Amino acid sequence: MPAENAPRALGAFSGGLDGIVAAVLLAEQGVEVALATFSSPFFDPDRGREAAARLGMDWRELDFTDDMMRLLESPPSGFGRRMNPCIDCHAAMLARLGSVMADERFDFVFTGEVLGQRPMSQGLNSLNRVARLSGLGDRILRPLSARLLPPTAPERNGLIDRARMLAISGRGRREQIEFARARGLSFPLPSGGCLLTDPGYSARLKVLVSEGLLTAGNARLARVGRMIRLGRGSVGIVGRDEAENAMLESLAAPSDILRLADRPGPSAVIIGGREGIPLLASAVALYGRVPEGEEAGVETGRDGSVAVRPLPRNVADALLVRNDESRRT
């Protein structure tokens, strides 16, 4: 347990191995550690919450949705390979932690970042840019790579013993794994993390942005099912199984949900202009396996119902939003 006058540190914490090692490194020096996990439609706090509970450390969730919506419109530092504004996102997260640090009298902020682990956001220039944009400067400690980086304020002020920090760089995890195993720490396997780096989701998000339809609610809908272009200012989402149908219906307003009227089939959601409803209804008939050429009734929320024939498969394939394998320009 930290001493009464122990230094206090607030960490950006996703619950992954690097963050766990960073938090434990500081706790072993007698630092009072608190952890914060950000949440938005693109990353959830569950892994952070669970890892903090295993460590027995103070934890809080910070809603980052509004910040992300602003960044996705026009990030000052640009996007990564997909729709991931990593540098500006990290800077905004750290700025948010800086506000909490000031309000709750923490001494410094820390992260589990490793020098060179991610080419865009964790090179030396990027780490320095994030520190500058966040307004925190050298009040950010990165314990896993600290001995490879210039001394920070908590090191110079004697709050942290720099010699007990690590000097890890690159993509390997051997040293982190050895550290965790030596202390009996459980840790998760590496996972995808932020949805904004996923090629399929990134493609859907680009469509929402280009059609003027980007909202937090629509970003959540875009995580599910198939996305279909329906014309200017209108897209549809069609469930692929019962679980996705249930998810769509839980996320959308009842007036925006489409279903086959007299037989089982997929649920769909209209996003944007309702002029696209007849086309989306035809897609519902197709994916609901209505025989080619046969007419079927589709309930269309507040608009009642419409009788349609299944959309031809080749037309549906052309309208599907597929994986984005190209770099954003």
pLDDT of residue 189: 77
Question: b/e for 157-185, b at 16 or more Cβ within 10 A?
Answer: eebbebeebbebbeeebeebeebbeeeeb
Q: What is the pLDDT of residue 252?
A: 97
Task: Tell me how far apart the alpha carbons of residues 322 and 329 are, in angstroms, rounded to a whole number.
Answer: 18
Is there a single domain that holds both residue 110 and residue 57? Answer: yes
Among 182, 216, 241, residue at a domain's last position: 182
Shared domain check, 85 and 16 = yes
Compute the distance between CA of residue 14 and CA of residue 46 in angstroms, rounded to an integer.
Answer: 9
Report the CATH number that the domain containing residue 64 is assigned in CATH. Answer: 3.40.50.620
- Is residue 157 located within the same domain as residue 57? yes
What is the average pLDDT score of the chain? 93
User: In the chain, how many domains are there?
Assistant: 2
pLDDT digits (tens, 9 = 90+) for 115-141: 988 766 788 889 999 999 999 999 999
* 203 domain residue, yes or no: yes
Q: Taking residues 201-229, what's their average pLDDT?
A: 96
Of 182, 209, 243, the residue at which a domain comes to its end is 182
Q: Do 281 and 173 have their domain in common?
A: no
Q: Are 163 and 69 within one domain?
A: yes
Q: For tokens 């037309």, what's the residue?
A: 315
If asked whether residues 170 and 56 sit together in one domain, one would say yes
E strand or H helix at 83: none
Is 176 found in the same domain as 93? Answer: yes
Q: Does 108 lie in the same domain as 39?
A: yes
pLDDT tens track for 30-51 = 999 999 999 999 999 999 999 9
Residue range(s) defining the domain that contains residue 119: 8-182
Decide if 275 is inside a domain: yes
Distance between CA 316 and CA 179 in Å, rounded? 51
Count of all residues that appear for the chain in the document: 329
Whether residues 86 and 177 fall in one domain: yes
Q: Which amino acid is present at 302? A: R
Given strand 8-12, what is the order of strands in its sheet?
58-63, 32-39, 8-12, 108-110, 140-141
Contacts of 276 (CB under 8 A, 6+ apart): 230, 231, 234, 235, 236, 270
Crossing angle of helices 65-73 and 199-210, rounded to 10°: 70
Looking at residue 21, its pLDDT comes to 98
Tell me if 324 is assigned to some domain. no
Does residue 71 lie within any of the structural domains?
yes
Residue 86 lies in a domain: yes
The answer as to whether 325 is a domain residue is: no
Mean pLDDT (whole number) for 223-230: 97
Identify whether the C-beta of residue 167 lies closer than 8 Å to the C-beta of residue 147: yes
The last residue of a domain, from among 130, 152, 182: 182
Is there a single domain that holds both residue 67 and residue 160?
A: yes
- Would you say 118 and 104 are in contact if contact means Cβ atoms under 8 Å apart? no
Whether 110 and 141 have beta carbons less than 8 Å apart is answered as yes
How many angstroms separate the CA atoms of 115 and 124, rounded?
Answer: 7
pLDDT value, residue 155:
97
Contact 242, 249 (CB under 8 A): no
Domain annotation covers residue 191: no
pLDDT digits (tens, 9 = 90+) for 170-198: 988 999 999 999 999 998 877 667 899 99
- Contact (Cβ atoms closer than 8 angstroms) between residue 17 and residue 173: yes
Residues 280, 241 share a domain: yes
pLDDT reading at 329 higher than 90: no
Q: What percent of the chain has pLDDT over 90?
A: 85
The answer on 136 and 60 residing in a single domain is yes
Q: Which residues contact 38 (CB under 8 A, 6 or more apart)?
A: 12, 45, 61, 62, 63, 64, 93, 96
Bridge partners (DSSP) of residue 35 are 11, 59
Specify the DSSP element, H or E, that contains 20: helix 17-27
Beta-carbon contacts of residue 193 (< 8 Å; ≥ 6 apart): 14, 16, 43
Mean pLDDT of 62-91: 93
pLDDT confidence band for 1 (50 / 70 / 90): low
Residue 190 lies in a domain: no
Q: pTM for the complete prediction? A: 0.88
Give pairs for 53-60: CB < 8 Å, separation 24+.
54/185, 54/186, 55/20, 55/23, 55/24, 55/27, 55/185, 57/23, 57/27, 57/33, 58/33, 58/34, 59/13, 59/34, 59/35, 60/34, 60/35, 60/36
